Structure 1
Amino acid sequence: MGGALRDLLLGRRPKDLDFLAEDPLRAAEEAQAALSGSLFPLDEERGQYRVVAGGYTLDFAPLEGGLEDDLLRRDYRLNALALLRGRVFGLRGVEEDLRRRVLVPVREENLYGDHLRSLRAVRLAASLGLGLPKATRAALRRHAAFLQGNPHLLPARERVREELTRLLLSPRAAFGLGVLAEVGLLEVYLPELAFLVGLEQGGVHHLDAWRHTLSVLFHLLWLWPEAPLSARLAALYHDAGKPLTRRFDPKVGRFRFLGHAEVGAEVARAALGFLGFSKEAVEEAAGLIRRHMDRPPEEKKALRRFYFRRQALLPALPYLQAADRLGAKKVAEEAWALLWAYQEALKTPLPQKPLLSGEEVMALLGLKPGPEVGRALEALLEAQALGEVETRAEAEAFLLARFALG
């Protein structure tokens, strides 16, 4: 049913399969036995069960009211497909949707049966490379306006987070976020970012803050297609602090955004935490946002120290900074210089372990367990990163010269 057939007809290999059955529990048990999978209920009252086997997810639900009635309750015509006795059945117009690779609602009122469906349309368009015709966008716009007026009907946050995650992890994430703003869903789900739309920046920026954000996200994925979720979230929120820090500076004759990186990190931390993103992803994104304006030094040793002190943010930080420059004017060449310098500075990988253990440092310096031991180990590791210390003897001499009590 639905998405699996859609993916097959679009030339993709589905991993999630939906089945309708008169007795879904029995069908699920038969699938479990045949595939040696694991079965568990999704909603026993509604007769919904899931089998997981071999990297595939099979969902079973009861057939209610006949096949056509079920298809008419679906969200989009490309999802209203069924395979029965070797034949694919769909609603009128689905062949044209497949030919044009577009997403069209079964009926506009179906969007209101599950209010996540408008957000899902944008995610599907971005992840599957589908178009959204004018009529579809108009329907999404009306639904977004309805949700803005009825926030108590918003879907559960975990469902919103899942759709946003899948959208951001798609190759066309920037396109999808642009559509969210166009149809009014940005204000519904990411209202703190809606303030970037139309926010003029000046200086090296030829785009308003929102279009610049989309450009940075696009260029990040162009430079680094395998960028993890935290880096994509950082690109999306890297300028979220600008609406709150915008001040006109008469000395330079334009608006400035002093401190926007620090403010933006806190905006992202609050917004992403509210949506339930993992603490790890939120903190990584906030760290990248806070540091995205740090300017790498030119001297090689200083640059290596710069990256050593920010190694928890590598390699995302230089990619984000390069994408930020590619999203502006007259500074694009800096992006290539920055990435080249980063690669040159880290041709020799940064050390991950001090030459001496904590116990050895305490014995050498006569210290008791505490923060001073940690500072000594960190200093030693930095000296190793800079090539100042290469042997255990040099490590001992370095620590004695720097930390020995007089």
Structure 2
Amino acid sequence: MKSMSQTVEAPVRTARGHLVIAGLEKAYQSQKVVENLDLEVQPGEFVALLGPSGCGKTTVLRAVAGLVQPSAGDIRVDGISLLRRPIYKRDLGMVFQSYALFPHLKVRDNVAFGLKMRGAPKQESDRLVREALGLVRMEGFSERYPGQLSGGQQQRVALARAIVTNPTALLLDEPFSALDAKLRESMQVELRQLQKRLGITTIFVTHDQHEAMTMADRIAVMNAGRIEQFDSPQAIYEQPSTLFVAEFIGKTNRFSGTLKGREGGQALIQLAGNDKLCRARDNPQLQVGDSILAIVRPEKISLMGDGAMPNGYTGLMTGNISEIIFTGEKSMLFLSSPCGNVAVAAHNDSHRTAAGATSGKRFQLGWNASDMLIFPLQS
């Protein structure tokens, strides 16, 4: 099999595919599954729609594709509304969860299907099919049937069929859900490299946060039919705008407490079960005296012995190890503390090593003040 460096190079294409979704709504009877949703995707951008099952992300994708009729709103590509256009005139490529390959057609005929529907001459169709199969490293499988291919190979064929017509945008509905973990990771890298070479505007639906963080230029985190935050992967992770986003992306420790004051641009909070004040990243939505939820990620917490905290660190909480789970590069340590159970992700080969951690051992827990986020208790 060819390496990625040996794959067919995609032709340079003019940036297009500026996608705008404005005020999109979809209701089934009285139940709204998408509500007043706005989203703008730049030409050549890779955007992930991320959220739990039932949040409306697939409905948005299907509305763009023309498989769902919106109840309200508009969908425009390069300034032209798609709402009155039939599916076959929307100039979009789509890959489904099931791949939706025709079992009775050979690979080359599956890939050529869209070209045939557009009336492409056979000689041109054959050339484009060869190019598309080369791009996904499947040129040697053109005479096979889908049933003779592995899951990863079927996924590549479905992708070739989606890109062979040089669509304005590519729509991907959890295309890796049927693959095993190792193959899934490999295909994520390959798809992202291919998307960059093609420069094709892409919307990718997933409920897998790691998948979204790995592949997307920007992520739209959805909840109950709305976008909670639309930002870069780093901003989504480091600067979540809502409690839902903070807890949906990655793992978190949650503590209840009270906002006691502000100092030096930081919040001064008291956690339930701890009589000492600690510092956190400020949240301007909160007033002094408000009940709060404080969030800090396991990988942001350091274990230290007795003594003063390093500069910039806060916490002043102690805990006893109740469980240790070795995961390879890291160990997940679970500690009981006056503020509740605390999870700590400790590297096994650094200054935060878990090598000295044993069940029952007592540690002081600390974290940088900017790594503790606070939200209103009612969020």
- TM class by shorter-chain length? under 0.3
Which is greater in Rg?
1
Structure with higher RCO (Cα < 8 A, 6+ apart): 2
- Please state which structure has a larger fraction of its residues in helix: 1
| TM-score normalised by the chain length of structure 1 | 0.24
* Higher strand fraction (1 or 2): 2
